[in-house]
Amino acid sequence: MSGLSANLETPHCGKYEQPTGLFINNEYVKGVDGKTFEVINPSDESVICSVHEATEKDVDIAVSAARKAFEGPWRNETPENRGKLLTNLANLFEKNLDLLASVESLDNGKAVSMAKVDISMAAGCLRYYGGWADKITGKVIDTTPDTFNYIRKEPIGVCGQIIPWNFPLLMWSWKIGPAIAAGNTVVLKSAEQTPLGALVAARLAKEAGFPPGVINVISGFGKVAGAAMSSHMDIDKVAFTGSTVVGRQIMKAAAGSNLKKVTLELGGKSPNIVFEDADIDNAISWVNFGIFFNHGQCCCAGSRVYVQDSIYEKFVQRFKERAAKNVVGDPFAQDTFQGPQVSQVQFDRIMNYIQAGKDAGAKVETGGNRKGDKGYFIEPTIFSNVTEDMKIMQEEIFGPVCSISKFKSQDEVIKTANSTTYGLAAAVHTKNLNTAIEVSNALKAGTVWVNTYNTLHHQMPFGGYKESGIGRELGEAALDNYCQTKTVSIRLGDALFG
């Protein structure tokens, strides 16, 4: 492939021009080594197009562009203008909602109706951080009468941002919004499975008016471009969303290079607890949404379901009837809820977990098989009678696979729910306010939902306890991760020291 774009078509938005180059300094360019890689359509396993691949050399070029912008015009850009540019970008996301959602569905396989929600949320996130840009303020601190001290919030510098494939454009906005609001510049690497949306969004960033070098978007592999970013001596901060295994590697690389600041949003094995007094219809619909939304490819998926023993049989029966009704199929069909898994690798991993559950003696209540013979489709799968020692109860599957077991008392379920190395999210279903608050307080998780699931919002911080991460995304909390705190102390008067 030699060009820098491909003519593509989706059933939802028709024909469009897909950029395929690396987006550096507001231009699409080829990689220095001329390498490309294929992008696979998870619905039918065909090749959609090829995109240019960034290697270490391209990472260097992108970082230089971001550095030059940071030390140059961007540093002197007013907070108000940074806010305006983010607002412009949010407006362009909304204007191009159908296009962006279609590209996400094509590339990732997610249902187009769900992809549209992603894009609206991405626009909301960009607009929200646009609003923050001129509201990041310091503080005056009185110590002694002969000093004047203040704290200034400054940008960190060049931020490397490594995003996953499960919500490509939503993650793009979660990363770029706060980084830019705080005055940083960015080199963002999309996941190798889903590079397309990020490249279309890069064009919108240019159209929004961002100067060259402020937002750079590269496609490439984790072990090459991602590793080069995490160990880069001129990247001041790395923000990563992905697996815990890779999160550890990134932290090590940061430690072994320039001790760049690190924020990590990692895996999960979130408990979803249903008490006997819950509204059972509501609980079933949220438990269903909690695990099967986005094909189970959510770091906060409610993959461990604990149901109080008095309602266990009834719950399992009705939940499996509900799950069997989830429409699995073509992401572009209007009634589809669940499309294919993102890749052959993920498909194989999930099928191996399903086999491990069967081998361990858990009962398959529904699903348990591939769906169709082309594309990476898997039936919504529910295992009951799952015990704590089983792999399917302990490890993150990242697919449409739910493990259920029963509990007797509140104390018991809190203990079991917390018996994991993860701590990203959790949920409680009950009509009793005391139960809701006591259990929420006791759960070791960054987010706890009560009588709901997956209700993420850009105004609310999101991130993990324990091995689910470091730092918080979204809300005001995310800005802290993109600012340095500088203390300035001024001596007043002319008294000599000593």
Residues shown for the chain? 498
Catalytic residue (one of 77, 265, 396, 473): 265
Three-state SS at 101: helix
Q: Which of 164, 213, 290, 446 binds ligand ADP (CB under 6 A)?
A: 164
**Interface stretch with ligand ADP, choices 105-113, 133-141, 215-223, 276-284 (CB under 6 A):** 215-223
Instruction: Write down the least CB distance from residue 202 to ligand ADP, Å.
Output: 16
Asked if residue 324 lies in contact with residue 427, where contact means CB atoms within 8 angstroms, the answer is no
Q: Between 222 and 368, whose beta carbon lies closer to ligand ADP?
A: 222
* Residue linked to tokens 């169709």: 372
Q: List all residues 6 or more positions away from 307 whose beta carbon is below 8 Å from its beta carbon.
A: 274, 315, 316, 404, 405, 406, 407
Residues 266-295 that bind ligand ADP (CB under 6 A): none
Q: Between 112 and 246, whose beta carbon lies closer to ligand ADP?
A: 246
Q: Between 226 and 329, whose beta carbon lies closer to ligand ADP?
A: 226
Asked if residue 260 lies in contact with residue 295, where contact means CB atoms within 8 angstroms, the answer is no
**Interface stretch with ligand ADP, choices 49-57, 61-69, 185-193, 387-395 (CB under 6 A):** 185-193
As a whole number of angstroms, the distance between CA 7 and CA 487 comes to: 52
Rule CB under 6 A: say whether 175 interacts with ligand ADP: no
Backbone angles phi, psi at 299, to 5 degrees: -65, -25
**DSSP alpha helices (H): ranges in 310-394?**
312-324, 344-360, 391-394
Q: Between 280 and 356, whose beta carbon lies closer to ligand ADP?
A: 356
CB-closest chain residue to ligand ADP = 222
> How far is CA 139 from each of CA 47, 132, 169, 267, 485, rounded to the nearest angstrom?
54, 17, 35, 36, 10
Rule CB under 6 A: say whether 109 interacts with ligand ADP: no
Asked if residue 223 lies in contact with residue 198, where contact means CB atoms within 8 angstroms, the answer is no
**Interface stretch with ligand ADP, choices 109-117, 186-194, 385-393, 429-437 (CB under 6 A):** 186-194
Q: Between 183 and 222, whose beta carbon lies closer to ligand ADP?
A: 222
Q: Between 222 and 463, whose beta carbon lies closer to ligand ADP?
A: 222
Task: State how far Cα 479 lies from the chain centre.
Answer: 16
Query: Residue 141: left (phi > 0), alpha (psi -120 to 50), or beta?
Result: beta
As a whole number of angstroms, the distance between CA 218 and CA 202 comes to: 10
Q: Between 33 and 411, whose beta carbon lies closer to ligand ADP?
A: 33
Q: Between 188 and 305, whose beta carbon lies closer to ligand ADP?
A: 188
Among 171, 173, 133, 139, which Cα is nearest to 155's? 133
Rule CB under 6 A: say whether 170 interacts with ligand ADP: no
Three-state SS at 295: helix
Judging by beta carbons within 10 Å of its beta carbon (0-12, 13-18, 19+), is residue 371 exposed, middle or buried? middle
Q: Which of 42, 109, 177, 222 binds ligand ADP (CB under 6 A)?
A: 222
- What track of x and - describes contact with ligand ADP for positions 238 through 257 (by CB under 6 A)? ----xx--x--xx-------
- Looking at the chain, the number of H-run helices and the number of E-run strands are 15, 22
As a whole number of angstroms, the distance between CA 95 and CA 111 comes to: 20
Q: Which of 8, 227, 393, 424 binds ligand ADP (CB under 6 A)?
A: 227
Rule CB under 6 A: say whether 197 interacts with ligand ADP: no
Rule CB under 6 A: say whether 162 interacts with ligand ADP: yes
Q: Between 385 and 394, whose beta carbon lies closer to ligand ADP?
A: 394
Rule CB under 6 A: say whether 191 interacts with ligand ADP: yes
Rule CB under 6 A: say whether 168 interacts with ligand ADP: no
> How far is CA 122 from each of CA 97, 126, 251, 308, 444, rounded to the nearest angstrom?
10, 6, 27, 37, 28
Rule CB under 6 A: say whether 40 interacts with ligand ADP: no
**Interface stretch with ligand ADP, choices 14-22, 224-232, 299-307, 309-317 (CB under 6 A):** 224-232
As a whole number of angstroms, the distance between CA 251 and CA 124 comes to: 30
# of chain residues touching ligand ADP (CB under 6 A) = 17
Q: Which of 26, 173, 219, 230 binds ligand ADP (CB under 6 A)?
A: 230
Rule CB under 6 A: say whether 42 interacts with ligand ADP: no
**Interface stretch with ligand ADP, choices 68-76, 93-101, 171-179, 184-192 (CB under 6 A):** 184-192
Q: Which of 30, 82, 189, 260 binds ligand ADP (CB under 6 A)?
A: 189
Rule CB under 6 A: say whether 231 interacts with ligand ADP: no
Among 22, 65, 66, 59, which Cα is nearest to 228's? 59
Rule CB under 6 A: say whether 63 interacts with ligand ADP: no
**Interface stretch with ligand ADP, choices 2-10, 33-41, 46-54, 217-225 (CB under 6 A):** 217-225
Clarify whether 265 is annotated catalytic. yes
Angle 112-132/97-108 helices, nearest 10 degrees? 120
Point out which residues bind ligand ADP (CB under 6 A): 162-164, 189, 191-192, 221-223, 226-227, 230, 242-243, 246, 249-250
Q: Which residues are catalytic?
A: 265
